């Protein structure tokens, strides 16, 4: 059977083929422009979409002589060859693309818009600035200690070179928050330069617990938390990070730069321990409920059970770090032998205050750097006191100097003084008010208290004045009529409190949300 005549090609099939041929021409032309010539395409290159204003890098083989960005005034700026080589590198572009995806999500959620005036803080290379411009936020700039124009100008996180209320959007990523040495100044400058109702977006890997998150947010008194969630890091090997979106309150007005603002504590009395501090008690070691027959051994062994606050929470986001040793005795009794050597400080430098009324120890502290000696007695009021020094006759003079023979204080005229004891007149000071004027709730405060029975006077005063809420961690030695080493079955007549009363004091402190440890 002979084949029939060929079927005519329909007009429809002909038009489809012509259209496909035209598309292939446009695609090939576009590929040539971008990958061979390294240029941004325009209408003359058969492109039907505008080129981005920021950087003419779209992938493939790049001609670095064609790389440019738009400066903040809109003019095209060609960077020097070293920057061009950097900007065209694969790793550099990978980071830019990461930030671009972050900013696109923020635009979708309404925290950023193309019309936003944006700032990136402590950006050495400006990759986040470039990412902002590539997603359409043309009015974006970064600050760093060394300028890298046209993306980055000179400045730092604690002093922005801009006026108050300048930016709609401020971003700090890439470990900037976690490495900030002066977190309070960092937060204050964001509050100063961010417009009311503007957004600050911060990336951090350190706020892994409620305590550190609250400490962090407490620094930003300008803003309220809008959103907090975990996002992926810049690459697969990076751990997830927390992205926090803060919004500046409409009525907030900065009072000045941090160094111009007074550092005194809150003058309000009373306090309620915050929930983030109460949560720490879930991990605290249990209290010793039964009175130990050999307390000097039991309490020493209990040291291995103590859960230090820095071992269960991140203490990074605090203005200062302070250790107050109330009843410090000699330098080696606790500051030198325990706090400086054993307390986990998370690489933070602490301001140390030694409060010790016994003149025997004062000369030693004059030779110790980094310790502020308060040569007075911690008390309820500013008044003259009797200091009753009880030396242990069974110890040598050198051992007594080591702090084994302790003293008690009594207000002048407050009853009889043991005639066998050494007595000195000293100055007492209002310890609660001193604490409130020395530290704030933004500081991390650790306190050891060994005041020979005066704790039953001082603790209620700290509660009454609200100063107790300024203490993050308390190591308290409670003095009671314990069993004596020398004479089994006999109690020390030195103190009139019982172990049950001490236990009640510890229990009430923990019940109030205070992380207190039984000390010795």
| pLDDT (mean) for 81-99 | 79
Tokens of 181: 């040495």
Q: What is the pLDDT of residue 79?
A: 58
Q: What is the pLDDT of residue 81?
A: 63
C-alpha 200 chain-centroid distance = 16
Judged against a pLDDT cut of 60, whether residue 158 lies above it is answered with yes
Question: Count of alpha carbons within 13 Å of 159, Cβ hemisphere only?
Answer: 5
For the segment 135-159, the average pLDDT, to the nearest whole number, is: 90
Contact present, 328 and 376 (Cβ < 8 Å) = no
Residue 206 · residue 316 · CB < 8 Å = yes
Q: Which of 80-94, 282-296, 319-333 has the highest mean pLDDT?
A: 319-333
Q: 383 near 412, Cβ under 8 Å?
A: yes
Pair of tokens at residue 382: 């500013």
Across the range 292-301, mean pLDDT stands at 80
Contacts by residues 498-502 (CB-CB < 8 Å, ≥ 24 positions apart) = 499/291, 500/291, 501/456, 502/478
CA angle 399, 405, 407 (to 5 degrees): 150
User: pLDDT: is 397 or 326 the higher one?
Assistant: 326
CB atoms within 10 A of CB 416: 6
More confident residue, 389 or 75: 389
| The pLDDT of residue 424 | 76
Cβ 460 vs Cβ 505: under 8 Å: no
Q: Determine which of 259-263, 314-318, 421-425, 446-450 has the lowest per-residue pLDDT on average.
A: 259-263
Distance CA 134, CA 228 (A): 25
Task: Decide: 518 and 504 in contact? Cβ < 8 Å.
Answer: no
Position 62 scores a pLDDT of 34
Pick from 48-52, 406-410, 507-511: least confident: 48-52
User: How sure is the predictor about 390, in pLDDT bands with cuts at 50, 70 and 90?
Assistant: low
pLDDT category at 399 given cuts 50, 70, 90 is very low
Question: Do 170 and 207 form a contact (C-beta atoms < 8 A)?
Answer: no
495-498: long-range pairs with CB below 8 Å, 24+: 495/453, 497/453, 497/456
Rounded distance, CA 415 to CA 400, Å? Answer: 26
| Backbone φ, ψ for residue 412 (5° rounding) | -60, 125
CB 111 within 8 A of CB 223: no
- Say if CB 468 and CB 266 are below 8 A apart: no
Residue-wise pLDDT for 328-353, tens only, equals 999 999 999 999 999 999 999 999 99
Task: Pick 264 or 359 by higher pLDDT.
Answer: 359
Please count the other Cβ atoms lying within 10 Å of the Cβ belonging to residue 295: 18
Q: Is pLDDT above 70 for 252?
A: no
Q: For the chain, give the percent of residues with pLDDT over 70.
A: 73
Pairwise CA distance, residues 463 & 468, whole Å: 5
Using alpha carbons, select from 162, 212, 154, 144 the residue that is nearest to residue 183: 212
Residues 6+ positions from 336 with CB-CB distance below 8 Å: 368
Centre a 10 Å sphere on the Cβ of residue 385 and count the other Cβ atoms it contains. 22
| Per-residue pLDDT tens digits for 256-296 | 333 333 334 443 456 677 778 888 999 999 999 999 888 77
Radius of gyration of the chain (CA): 34
């Amino acid at each position: 059977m002979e084949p029939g005549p060929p079927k005519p090609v329909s007009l429809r099939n002909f038009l489809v083929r012509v259209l496909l041929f035209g598309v292939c021409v446009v695609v090939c032309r576009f590929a040539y422009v971008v990958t061979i010539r390294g240029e941004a395409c325009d209408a003359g290159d058969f492109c039907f979409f505008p080129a981005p204003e920021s950087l003419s890098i779209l992938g493939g083989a790049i001609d670095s002589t064609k790389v440019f960005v738009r400066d903040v005034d809109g003019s095209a700026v060609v960077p020097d060859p070293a920057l061009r080589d950097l900007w065209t590198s694969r790793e550099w572009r990978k980071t830019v693309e990461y930030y671009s995806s972050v900013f696109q999500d923020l635009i979708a959620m309404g925290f950023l818009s193309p019309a936003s005036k944006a700032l990136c803080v402590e950006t050495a290379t400006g990759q986040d600035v470039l990412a902002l411009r590539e997603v359409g936020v043309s009015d974006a700039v970064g600050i760093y200690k060394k300028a890298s124009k046209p993306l980055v100008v000179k400045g730092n996180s604690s002093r922005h070179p801009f006026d108050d209320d300048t930016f709609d959007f401020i971003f700090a990523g890439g470990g900037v928050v976690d490495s900030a040495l002066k977190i309070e100044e960092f937060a204050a400058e964001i509050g100063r330069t961010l417009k009311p109702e503007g957004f600050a977006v911060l990336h951090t890997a350190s706020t892994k617990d409620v305590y550190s998150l609250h400490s962090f947010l407490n620094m930003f008194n300008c803003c309220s938390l809008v959103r907090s969630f975990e996002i992926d890091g810049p690459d697969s090997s990076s751990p997830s990070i927390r992205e926090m979106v803060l919004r500046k309150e409409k009525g907030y007005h900065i009072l000045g730069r941090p160094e111009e603002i007074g550092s005194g504590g809150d003058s309000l009395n009373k306090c309620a321990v915050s929930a983030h501090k109460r949560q720490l008690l879930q991990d605290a070691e249990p209290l010793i409920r039964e009175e130990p027959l050999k307390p000097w051994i039991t309490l020493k062994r209990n040291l291995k059970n103590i859960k230090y606050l820095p071992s269960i929470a991140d203490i990074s986001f605090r203005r200062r770090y302070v250790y107050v040793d109330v009843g410090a005795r000699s330098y080696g009794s606790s500051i030198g032998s325990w706090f400086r050597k054993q307390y986990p400080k998370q690489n933070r430098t602490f301001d140390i205050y030694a409060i010790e009324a016994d003149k025997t120890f004062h000369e030693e502290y004059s030779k110790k750097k980094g310790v502020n000696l308060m040569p007075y007695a911690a008390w309820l009021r500013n008044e003259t006191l009797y200091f009753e020094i009880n030396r242990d006759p069974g110890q040598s003079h050198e051992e007594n100097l080591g702090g084994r023979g302790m003293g008690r204080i009594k207000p002048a005229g407050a009853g009889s003084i043991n005639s066998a004891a050494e007595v000195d007149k000293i100055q007492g000071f209002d310890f609660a008010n001193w604490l409130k004027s020395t530290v704030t709730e933004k500081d991390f405060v650790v306190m050891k208290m060994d005041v020979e029975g005066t704790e039953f006077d001082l603790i209620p005063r700290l509660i009454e004045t609200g100063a107790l809420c300024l203490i993050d961690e308390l190591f308290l030695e409670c003095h009671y009529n314990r069993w004596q080493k020398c004479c089994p079955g006999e109690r020390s007549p030195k103190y009139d409190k019982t172990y049950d009363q001490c236990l009640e004091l510890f229990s009430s402190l923990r019940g109030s949300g205070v992380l207190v440890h039984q000390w010795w």
